């Protein structure tokens, strides 16, 4: 009976495993996106005027979107279990994180609806728009797929590492 009581009082509240996994994945994501800043500059995917702090916020929010997109498309069961917890981390990334994530989702949906773009290109365009604070030039926009690809790869690696 004592063992049963110990198990009862030591168990986690419902949903805590999902929250812990989401926080772990986003923590790894932040590290991966931060370390991707210099390679993104080196490949000329980013203009030199972009600050590392702006990159950290925008790339992490983009990564949160990419992580949810990846889960929804590749593992709907994990998405149902962890998606809300991953989305909830946006507010911890930045005080405007919730708004940025909603803006990201709306921008990508609108861009994909127009056609002619991949998910990575649409995500990269959102990143450029937010990093530059203006509409990207044609030359800048050509590199959007690289930035979106960085966010997707960081997100997928972060999720798979957090298991």
Three-state secondary structure readout of the chain: CHHHHHHHHHCCCCCHHHHHHHHHHHHHHHHHHHHCHHHHHHCCCCCCCCCHHHHHHHHHHHHHHHHHHHHHHHCHHHHHHHHHHHHHCHHHHCCCHHHHHHHHHHHHHHHHHHCCCCHHHHHHHHHHHHHHCCCCCHHHHCCHHHHHHHHHHHHHHHHHHCC
Q: Is 10 exposed, middle or buried (0-12, 13-18, 19+ CB in 10 A)?
A: exposed
For residue 102, pLDDT beyond 90: yes
Residue 12: per-residue pLDDT: 47
Around Cβ 18, how many Cβ atoms within 10 Å? 18
Higher pLDDT: 35 or 3? It is: 35
pTM for the whole structure: 0.84
Residue 45: per-residue pLDDT: 65
Residue 153: per-residue pLDDT: 92
């Amino acid at each position: 009976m004592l063992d049963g009581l110990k198990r009862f009082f030591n168990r986690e509240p419902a949903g805590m495993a999902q929250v812990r996994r989401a926080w772990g994945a986003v923590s790894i994501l932040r590290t991966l996106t931060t370390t991707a800043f210099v390679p993104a500059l080196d490949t000329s995917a980013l203009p030199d005027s972009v600050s590392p702090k702006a990159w950290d916020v925008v790339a992490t929010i983009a990564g949160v979107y990419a992580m949810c997109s990846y889960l929804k498309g590749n593992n709907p069961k994990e998405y149902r279990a962890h998606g809300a917890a991953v989305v909830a981390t946006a507010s911890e990334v930045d005080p405007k994180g919730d708004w940025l994530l909603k803006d990201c989702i709306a921008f990508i949906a609108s861009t994909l609806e127009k056609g002619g773009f991949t998910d990575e290109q649409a995500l990269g365009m959102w990143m450029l728009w937010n990093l530059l604070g203006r509409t990207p030039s044609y030359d800048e926009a050509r590199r959007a797929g690289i930035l979106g690809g960085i966010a997707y790869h960081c997100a997928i690696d972060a999720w798979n590492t957090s298991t």
